[in-house]
Amino acid sequence: MTKSNILRKLRKFHKWPGIVITLFVILFCVSGIFMNHRDWISGIDVKRSLLPDDYSYQNWNKGAVKSVCQLNKDSALVYGNIGIWLSTDHFKTFQDWNAGFPKGTDNRKISKILRTLDGRLFAGTYFGLYQYSVQQHQWQKIQLPVSEERITDLILKQNELLVQTRSFLLKSSDGKSFQPITLPAPDRYNGKASLFKTLWLLHSGELWGFVGKLLVDLFGLAILVISLTGLMHFIFPKWLKRRREKQKSNTSLITLRNTNLHWHNKLGWIFIPFLIFVTITGMFLRPPLLIAIASSTVSPIPGTVLSSPNPWYDQLRRVIYDEQQHLFLFSTNDGLYVINENFEGPMLRPQSQPPVSVMGCNVLEKTSESNYLVGSFNGLFLWNPQTGQIIDYLSGSPYEAPVVMGPPVSKDMIDGWFTDSTGDEFYFDYNQGVLPIRNSVQFGEMSAEIIRKSPISLWNLSLEVHTGRIFEPLLGMFYILYVPLAGICILIVLISGFFIWWIGYRKSKPKSKSAQISS
């Protein structure tokens, strides 16, 4: 096969998939850069009315509510991704209680509200801890002695307030000054990290902190420019032909065309190793390739955030203190662990474990002397760690582990749970919204004001675009294949483009002006 035949075939593999994938590459690049800087864009929201109907709130779904903090018999604070709303008539009407939080939906996403024994209110958010000021009628931020302030849980241990982030547990006796608690490593800890987490941080660049994220942003900008210059190179020949019909020559247009191709080729061969790397790591973060690495672990890369001396870096999700047994129960990315109240000895992982989705534990409550309620996107379960018994809380049937691993979610995608002042139980399903448990009492409806004041954050919209979930209304469940198929297409374009440059341009001499015009 001659060199010209090889180039002709390569150009077909490069041209047509490149044209098809250009729009999606632009979406990947822009959304990825936004996702890398959540704190920078936390004040920017998008109206849900501009998005497909699936993104509209109905019956408190889509993570609108995580739980309810009961203040007295009739008054309660409803909180979650919609912020905080006060109801004084048993959930019939609601008042906005978000004063004091910075602008933007992301800044008032509440993971937990805690009322202390003396009546003080604390709220844990994605960006820090807040206390409600009765005098000023607004929430005020409390500074914590750790750099990572994404709060995952708040609990009380006697008179102490305990605040848990994704990496640390802190305690305070006055609610003002906090001291980190050193959590011992789990039993048989080998220092290895999840392969999924490693690829996730490699893909975003966060593995090397802020500098790493900026470097990946640079890769994103590079592939964005490569895509746009490639699209222009496809358009230029037809445009030049039309222009030549009107005028004999136009050297400025020809120069522009050649400059465009020059930068397309140059950026391509400079960045291609990094772009292939970012593409492949991204493909493994979504099914079906995700399934292949879900349970794998690797040694952390030295000098990165995963080589932290903290064995619980980015692992902590929920925590509860058992006053009767004098122990703590932690829900982590690696399952449930227990330790005594003095944090002595290693964290122990009970042999019996209720199913918890890879998206994390959303409900962890003690219901009796030896039973815990554990909820996630895998369902809601009553768990007895002493006997190992696990009961499906919604059906009342014993849990049976599936023989073959299925989807990472179940039909009951538990986002929250609570018991009202009369003892009636409710749970919040991500898709269906609020539903009663073994009672006929109905929860109040979302008001028009709540819906209007609860847009989607730009970061969450970027996540929906980046993962392809934004296309679910069009593609149905096939949207799951969006990332791997797009990744394969991008790899074809990158690799074929590199060989076109290597064979056809790398050592070629500059063409004469007449040859360039005719090409």
Band (pLDDT 50/70/90 cuts) for residue 262 is: confident
**What is the percentage of the chain residues whose pLDDT exceeds 70?**
92
What own/partner pairs with CB < 8 Å and gap ≥ 24 does 35-41 have?
Answer: 35/204, 35/459, 35/462, 35/463, 35/466, 36/204, 36/205, 36/206, 36/213, 36/216, 36/217, 37/213, 38/106, 38/126, 38/459, 39/127, 41/106, 41/457, 41/458, 41/459
Beta bridge partners, 350, equal none
- pLDDT per residue as tens digits for the range 381-409: 999 999 999 999 999 999 988 766 656 66
Task: Give per-residue pLDDT as tens, 466-484.
Answer: 999 999 988 888 899 999 9
- The mean pLDDT of 126-146, rounded to a whole number, is 96
Q: How many helices, marked H, and strands, marked E, lie in the chain?
A: 10, 26
Spatial distance between the Cα atoms of 65 and 83, rounded to a whole number of angstroms: 8
> What DSSP state is assigned to residue 440?
-
Place of tokens 């360039």: 516
Within 13 Å of residue 407, how many CA atoms lie on the same side as its CB?
10
**Predicted local distance difference test score (pLDDT) of residue 133:** 97
**Confidence category of residue 485, pLDDT binned at 50, 70, 90:** very high
What is the tens place of the pLDDT at every residue in 272-326? 999 999 999 999 999 889 888 988 999 999 999 999 999 999 999 999 999 999 9
Q: So what's the pLDDT on residue 149?
A: 92
Q: Which domains does the chain have, with CATH numbers?
A: 3-44+193-302+480-518 (no CATH), 58-189+311-453 (2.130.10.10)
Among 374, 359, 351, 472, residue whose Cα is nearest residue 407: 359
For residues 425-438, average pLDDT: 95
Distance CA 56, CA 136 (A): 33
Q: Write phi, then psi, for 272 (nearest 5 degrees).
A: -60, -40
Tokens of 12: 């077909």
The confidence score (pLDDT) of residue 10 equals 86
Q: Residue 391: what pLDDT?
A: 97
What local confidence, expressed as pLDDT, does residue 504 receive? Answer: 76
Collect all residues with Cβ–Cβ distance below 8 Å to 472 and sequence separation of at least 6: 54, 479
Identify the CA nearest to 160 among candidates 192, 118, 194: 118
